[in-house]
Structure 1
């Protein structure tokens, strides 16, 4: 866009923000690539509907189908400042950073080998996703859907099916949960075969 000399007041304002600072704003526009927010303080943006911008992954910890499931134009929101985007002259922000991560809370109370009940939410060529808690989904890899090999997840389960699964891995850093439906999963068979 422009440099510091073109919009000195906006540039100075954005440079004064600190990572982690919580900014109050109003949703100004929803686009397919993210959400523009008009900050309560600071100057207006010369081009965009707001000085703040929130990418889709930073809107919520939970998976959502439409942005309007999370925010609506005109809604008041508070977001954590992530960085000054010097190319677009905007404050990159995160709504989810101001909320507790439900995955970490789930991981605190769940162990590998634990049996859970859930509902199949979607099928992909390599397996099935199962919701095992409010907004918590895990993947059953194709090889772990059943003890006998199958070509596609739809050979074994359908979206909406209620299933019992065993937790095989909890990756806190990547926020990934691995599950199995196999009776001989590594989480449930720790004994060695007799020699």
Structure 2
């Protein structure tokens, strides 16, 4: 914890001071109970957030874009006492695709509809997902193209990593060819046999729908 955080804590509480707070978390193993003073200071906000359920669709306006995520001012419920909006979207929840720039997805003032994920009791905000409002392109690809183990695909090498290479087999859909599956002979490093931009014919060895992972083999192709 940095000095600025410590100063903010000392501004609101000191050792021995009596405080009123709402229990937001109990850790029996650690013998700890976490209280929220903000809950008692902002009962209307807490009541609103506690009434939300996983999967609820909330609408609002993008209020601010920060390096750690996007704040959304919700149409319903009270305003946040500190942040620009009660709703918050982390970068991974903005899109199913890899986001190079947030401005490619949202901008301040834009109207959005998001799915409620959870009540963040630490910050007193609603964690939201924008991508959940759109079909998962990975699952759409797997279902529409009948992607099963043994299916042959063609794709372009997009990235080399120590343990293999990533191959784009459809727009925005990548699979991993592990080092052991790159060649019929042992390979020390992926750059020994392929380069970024090379086109490969591969065979699907595993489809993990839950984790959205596609395992591929060049050796078997």
Q: Verify: 1:89 aligned to 2:121, yes or no.
A: no
**The one of 125, 144, 157 aligned to 1:120:** 157
Query: So what's the TM-score if we normalise by structure 1?
Result: 0.88
Contact between 1:25 and 1:77, CA under 8 Å: does it hold in 2? yes
C-alpha displacement of 1:4: 2.1
Per-residue Cα deviation, 1:139-178 (whole angstroms, up to 9, x for no partner): 0101111112222112222222222111111011111100
Q: Count residues with an aligned counterpart.
A: 184
- What corresponds to 2:179 in structure 1? 142
- Report SS of the residue matched to 2:169: strand
Say which structure is richer in helix. Answer: 2
C-alpha displacement of 1:70: 2.1
**The one of 170, 177, 183 aligned to 2:207:** 170
Segments of structure 1 that go 5 or more residues without pairing to the other structure are 189-195
Ranges of 4+ aligned residues in structure 1 off by more than 4 Å: none
Contact between 1:2 and 1:87, CA under 8 Å: does it hold in 2? no
- Report SS of the residue matched to 1:20: coil
Contact between 1:113 and 1:168, CA under 8 Å: does it hold in 2? yes
C-alpha displacement of 1:112: 1.0
Q: Which has the higher contact order (CA 8 A, sep 6+)?
A: 1
Query: So what's the TM-score if we normalise by structure 2?
Result: 0.78
